[in-house]
Amino acid sequence: MTDRAMKSAGTGGKGGWHVTVLGGGAWGTALALAMLRAGHSVRLFARDPETVAAIGRGENPRYLPGIAIAPGIEATSDIEAALTGSDCVLAVTPAQALRTTLASARDHMPAGIPLVLCAKGIERDTGALLSAIAAEILPPNPVAALSGPSFASDVARGLPTAVVVAAGDETLAADLAARFSAENLRCYSSDDLIGVEIGGALKNVFAIAAGAVTGAGLGASAQAAMVTRGFVELRRIGAAFGARPETLMGLSGLGDLLLTCASSQSRNFAYGLALGQGKALSGLPLAEGVPTAAIAARIAAERGIDAPIIAAVAAIIEGTITVQQAVTALMTRPLKTETND
């Protein structure tokens, strides 16, 4: 842990930090509320002045309709004001926008404070994990990631949720997990940062596949098979990146996969559902699995990793095959033993 992080950790006990949340969407607002419940003072940065004004009125109707925003969150569209004096920053902008957001924050980011990545994905153009982008742009700041089976509306309402906080520095991960935990939010810690990132990124791709299978009316048996075999692919790619198997079996891997592959609350499942039903995709909320599918398929192909479901999702999104054609191709692949990975 850096000197600045240790200094912050030594003041005010478990709580008492000044936490900055970068991102005024559903997940950013939910995490701001979670940090408030954990005893921290919270600033939220959003680019949209209407979102800032709405949070000031105690609501965020665009992203969290019907959920009251407790007073105490200071919302601003001034990134310098949001970061000044911060003890910890949660980056909650979409994965494909992270590089731009961190570049904007670079000149105002206090050196040494933890940066916690809360988006899930792989950068489409470079194939970089989000922690690599953060290390490139903000080398003075230790990087962590928060992930796990958690819908923004559940966290915003204070419903029971368990997540994992990971960092390469085990002490930092444990400290962050303790500071973020509150009533109905249980945070586990991990030092397998790569494993947590891979699980969070790839589960979005399989959620699209699950939604497509459901939307096409292929039945619960097909969906269960797809999710199970998808998890095999997740483990293969995770192993290639150095992720630990037990991490992928945990909250940020299997746990998140089960949640997002079974509910239309998941933006990725909803996107896949529309794909399977042949509906228009314009107007749907951003699904991080869309850009991740393309880059994950490319990575798997370049590394010789067998990932037919990921390749099929990428092809369906590109419009080169239909859901039915993808399922037929998957069902007619050469037979092998189940444990032959």
Tell me the catalytic residues: 203
Using left for φ > 0, alpha for ψ between -120 and 50, and beta otherwise, residue 12 falls in left
Q: For 35-49, b where at least 16 C-beta lie within 10 A, e where not — what string? A: bbbbebbbbbbbeee
Can you name the residues that pair with 175 across neighbouring β-strands? none
Burial environment of residue 105 by CB neighbours within 10 A (0 to 12, 13 to 18, 19 or more): buried
Q: Phi and psi dihedrals of 340, rounded to 5? A: -85, 90
Distances (CA, A) of 217 to 85, 128, 275, 276, 278: 53, 35, 12, 8, 12
- Residue 242: what residue type? G
Going by the DSSP 8-state scheme, the letter that residue 282 receives in this structure is: T
Cβ neighbours for 167, distance < 8 A, ≥ 6 positions apart: 114, 142, 143, 144, 145, 173, 176, 191, 193
Burial of 314 (0-12, 13-18, 19+ CB in 10 A): buried
